Amino acid sequence: MSRARTRVDGPAKVAGVARYAADHPGPDLRHLALVTATVPAATISTVDTTAASAAPGVVAVLTHENAPRLAPPVGAPYGGRLPLQDNEVHYDGEPVAVVVADTLDHARAAADLVRVDYEVRAAITDFTAVTDLVVPSPPPRWGPADTNVGTPEPAEVTLARVYTTAARHHSPLEPSATHAEWRDGRLFVRDATQGVFGVRTVLSSVLGLPREDIRVVAEYTGGGFGAKGYVWPHQIIAAMTAVHLGGAVRLVLTRAQSFTSHGYQPPTRQRITVAAHRTGRIAALEHDSVSPTATYGGYVEMAANATRVLYAAPAIRTSHRIAPVNTILPTPMRAPHEGPGAFATESLMDELAHELGVDPLWLRLRNHADVDPTSGLPFAAKDLRACYREGARRFGWERRPLAPRSVRDGHDLVGWGMASAVMATFRFPASARVRLRVDGTVVVEAGCQEIGTGTYTILPQVAADVLGCPADQVTLRLGDTDLPETGMTAGSSTTLSVGSAISAAATTLTAQLAELAGADAVSLTGTTLELDGDPDRVVDLADLFAEHDLVEVTADGSFTPTDTGHSLHSFGAVFAEVAVDEDFGTCRVRRLVAVYNAGRIINPLTARGQMTGGLIWGIGQALLEQSTLDHELGRFVSKDLAGYLVATQADVGELEVAFVGEHDPHSGAIGARGIGELGAVGVAPAIANAVFHATGKRIRSLPITPENLL
């Protein structure tokens, strides 16, 4: 059942009483400040901590010379590079020391007094200058590096283009923070994370502590977008310092440090070719993407994944190569893979439509993929055609003049563009527990996270649906390694994966209750159970529990992703209207209409927020966001929110979002698929295509800035 429900954690958040990782005081709390490398590749010759150690309030200064030794990490996809273990620097911003002091100001002042001398080595930060490209090995988690299916048909039109996207930073408003306490041989961590279990696994391995002696908690995480998915050096440093010194420590990254501490979305250079018949039918697609990785680890931005599934081409060839550079390891960022990739695929489709003189939407329908063209598998509950149809209707697409530069409004050139959205469905194993108490309250337990997606609100709705009770009767406990284990809250996976586990647990619970009550089925209302759907057959929980000498009934459930023989993707269609000031080249998005096909929507209210948020991420990707590397210094420039531009309130025009399609029986147990990442896909090409329609200029490099359009 789909029901709009306001956020249960809303009242706490709007009143400022929801506590995040850095919001927990303590009588013996000590503050950490990182000293980070200012060069991209070097050997540390000396570290002088004399002045820092003598500064007011300083308790300790740890460097590679005196920090505790760490064991090899398990489950650490950030490249496995451990902090403060050797004298090597692999990227600007790598931690080289940590200061422990009584106050934050003292820690930061002392950090400034640590003197580090480097023997600087030659570094490369420009991935386009790397000549020895690497074939990803082992194969990336998100699919093979290369695919090649079918035989190209002879074609009348061939377009070969290069598209590029910029390096971007996740920039959640909450800077990463880790609060670690070592007491009585146990480690307690409050972390700004998208996955408490991943944090525990890594800390357990590097610190040599049994998992049961580590508890990681995150009741609220102030946005992640991928930055808080994996475990990064700062989390290890905080935990290591707490164990080393005892008591409680807190490490909060500065905004500048957040640009070099937990990955970034790598820039991409994508060569893409389409061959087509004059009839509009695609004869072949090729998509080759290159992106940087770190010198010490591999991350692949799977930009060509979109081309693997979007259109029914008789031949599709794709490849991904990576270029090692001296930066921190890139990492997934909303929306990974298809986000940068669809810019190329969907811009090229617009170019082809223009070349053929046909409507871009018609061209997409002409080449609609009824089955996954690379795997040959049927799609799970795909209804992209309905997205196109409904989006076009809401947008008024049929009124679009075909020729560019057709519409003018004062100083503005107005253009309309559209693009498809596609996102692979990520699923993780998950477990959950559902408890029913005698007073009728239902407690759902699952160690996933609330990062803004509405977990506290949505998952109780899943349990309530099964139990038959109102969602308000159900509360969720999450973000704690003492609770049943789940995957990280990332890749739009939580509602689907954890929801499926909760559904299983709740189903088991109802079966148990039915058995206790001697019925075939039960439905919970307040403190009573209705038996077999008969309003006249009601049993009071108090009586039932007393009869069986119970204080509560508990059931566990789990979800294991299985191969159902389907290609699991969500789809959408995005329509954009832009206004480009002809004098200044400034582009504003007047309106976006987006229609999505993403399975069952549990909570339309929070789902709308996910999609409008994704659309605004797309506006940022299209027009604003880029982290520029100064290759001479080997550093990102403007590590702040004045230089790294994310959309403000004023950058947002009218947004309209709708969903089509219903239950997906293949992806999980509750009919849902992921949505949050999907919303950020297809927006940039829709905007770029609208810019072309407005101005006649085809911009193949993101973001589109005024100097491109003057």
Catalytically active residues are 677
Task: Return the H-helix or E-strand segment holding 544.
Answer: helix 541-547
Residues 391-410 that bind other proteins (CB under 8 A): none
List b or e across 90-103, with b for residues whose CB sees 16 or more CB atoms inside 10 angstroms.
bbbbbbbbbbbbee
35 part of the interface to other proteins, by CB under 8 A? yes
Residues 245-274 that bind other proteins (CB under 8 A): 252, 254-257
Closest distance to other proteins from the beta carbon of 33 (Å)? 8
Closest distance to other proteins from the beta carbon of 136 (Å)? 30
- Residue range at the interface with other proteins (CB under 8 A); choices 72-80, 365-373, 377-385, 626-634: 626-634
- Residue range at the interface with other proteins (CB under 8 A); choices 3-11, 83-91, 318-326, 427-435: 3-11
Q: Which of 162, 173, 402, 542 binds other proteins (CB under 8 A)?
A: 173
Q: Which of 239, 282, 616, 660 binds other proteins (CB under 8 A)?
A: 616
Q: Which of 262, 608, 666, 700 binds other proteins (CB under 8 A)?
A: 608
19 part of the interface to other proteins, by CB under 8 A? yes
Please say which residue, 521 or 652, places its beta carbon nearer to other proteins: 652
612 part of the interface to other proteins, by CB under 8 A? yes
Please say which residue, 221 or 431, places its beta carbon nearer to other proteins: 221
The DSSP secondary structure of 187-254, one letter per residue, reads: EEEEE--S-HHHHHHHHHHHHT--GGGEEEE-S-----TTTTTS--HHHHHHHHHHHHH-EEEEEE--
606 part of the interface to other proteins, by CB under 8 A? yes
Closest distance to other proteins from the beta carbon of 543 (Å)? 34
Strands 442-445 and 474-477, sheet pairing: parallel
Closest distance to other proteins from the beta carbon of 302 (Å)? 24
Closest distance to other proteins from the beta carbon of 425 (Å)? 21
Cβ contact 394:655 at 8 Å:
no
Q: Which of 171, 176, 570, 597 binds other proteins (CB under 8 A)?
A: 171
652 part of the interface to other proteins, by CB under 8 A? yes
Please say which residue, 85 or 628, places its beta carbon nearer to other proteins: 628
Please say which residue, 26 or 533, places its beta carbon nearer to other proteins: 26
Looking at the chain, the number of H-run helices and the number of E-run strands are 15, 29
Closest distance to other proteins from the beta carbon of 98 (Å)? 12
Closest distance to other proteins from the beta carbon of 551 (Å)? 29
Residues 574-593 that bind other proteins (CB under 8 A): 583-586, 588
Name residue, tokens 């041989």: 185
Closest distance to other proteins from the beta carbon of 589 (Å)? 10
Sign, CA torsion 575/579/582/585: negative
Cβ contact 120:90 at 8 Å:
no
Please say which residue, 9 or 390, places its beta carbon nearer to other proteins: 9
Sign, CA torsion 507/510/515/519: negative
223 part of the interface to other proteins, by CB under 8 A? yes
Cβ contact 690:578 at 8 Å:
yes
> Site size for other proteins, by CB under 8 A?
93
Closest distance to other proteins from the beta carbon of 37 (Å)? 9
Residue 134 DSSP class? B
CB atoms within 10 A of CB 690: 29
The DSSP secondary structure of 637-688, one letter per residue, reads: S--STTTS----GGG--EEEEEE-----TTTSSSSB---TTGGGSSHHHHHH
Q: Which of 365, 514, 550, 655 binds other proteins (CB under 8 A)?
A: 655
Give dist(CA 606, CA 620) in Å, integer: 21
Go through the chain and tell me how many residues it has.
710
Residues 298-327 that bind other proteins (CB under 8 A): none
11 part of the interface to other proteins, by CB under 8 A? yes
Cβ contact 304:270 at 8 Å:
yes
Give dist(CA 436, CA 92) in Å, integer: 52
Identity of the amino acid at 180? A
Q: Which of 15, 72, 535, 536 binds other proteins (CB under 8 A)?
A: 15
Residues 407-426 that bind other proteins (CB under 8 A): 411
710 part of the interface to other proteins, by CB under 8 A? yes
Task: Return the H-helix or E-strand segment holding 178.
Answer: strand 177-183
Closest distance to other proteins from the beta carbon of 118 (Å)? 12
- Residue range at the interface with other proteins (CB under 8 A); choices 6-14, 82-90, 131-139, 155-163: 6-14
Closest distance to other proteins from the beta carbon of 179 (Å)? 12
Find, among 464, 280, 283, the residue nearest to 359 by Cα: 280
Q: What x-and-dash track marks residues 627-646 binding other proteins by CB under 8 A?
A: -x-x-xx-x-xxxxxxx-xx
Please say which residue, 70 or 633, places its beta carbon nearer to other proteins: 633
Give dist(CA 75, CA 504) in Å, integer: 27
Residues 440-469 that bind other proteins (CB under 8 A): 450-454
Where does residue 425 rank: exposed (0-12), middle (13-18), buried (19+ CB within 10 A)? buried
Find, among 400, 386, 436, 325, the residue nearest to 573 by Cα: 386
Q: Omega of the bond prior to 138 within 30 degrees of 0, cis?
A: yes
Residues 191-210 that bind other proteins (CB under 8 A): none
Give dist(CA 224, CA 175) in Å, integer: 9
Cβ contact 646:582 at 8 Å:
no
Please say which residue, 199 or 310, places its beta carbon nearer to other proteins: 199
Please say which residue, 10 or 533, places its beta carbon nearer to other proteins: 10
Residues 69-128 that bind other proteins (CB under 8 A): 103-105, 108-109, 111-112, 114
Please say which residue, 39 or 276, places its beta carbon nearer to other proteins: 39
Tell me the three state secondary structure of residue 167.
coil
Please say which residue, 283 or 459, places its beta carbon nearer to other proteins: 459
13 part of the interface to other proteins, by CB under 8 A? yes
Please say which residue, 312 or 633, places its beta carbon nearer to other proteins: 633
56 part of the interface to other proteins, by CB under 8 A? yes
E strands in 278-411: 282-294, 315-325, 407-409
* CA-angle at 659, arms to 653 and 663, nearest 5°: 160
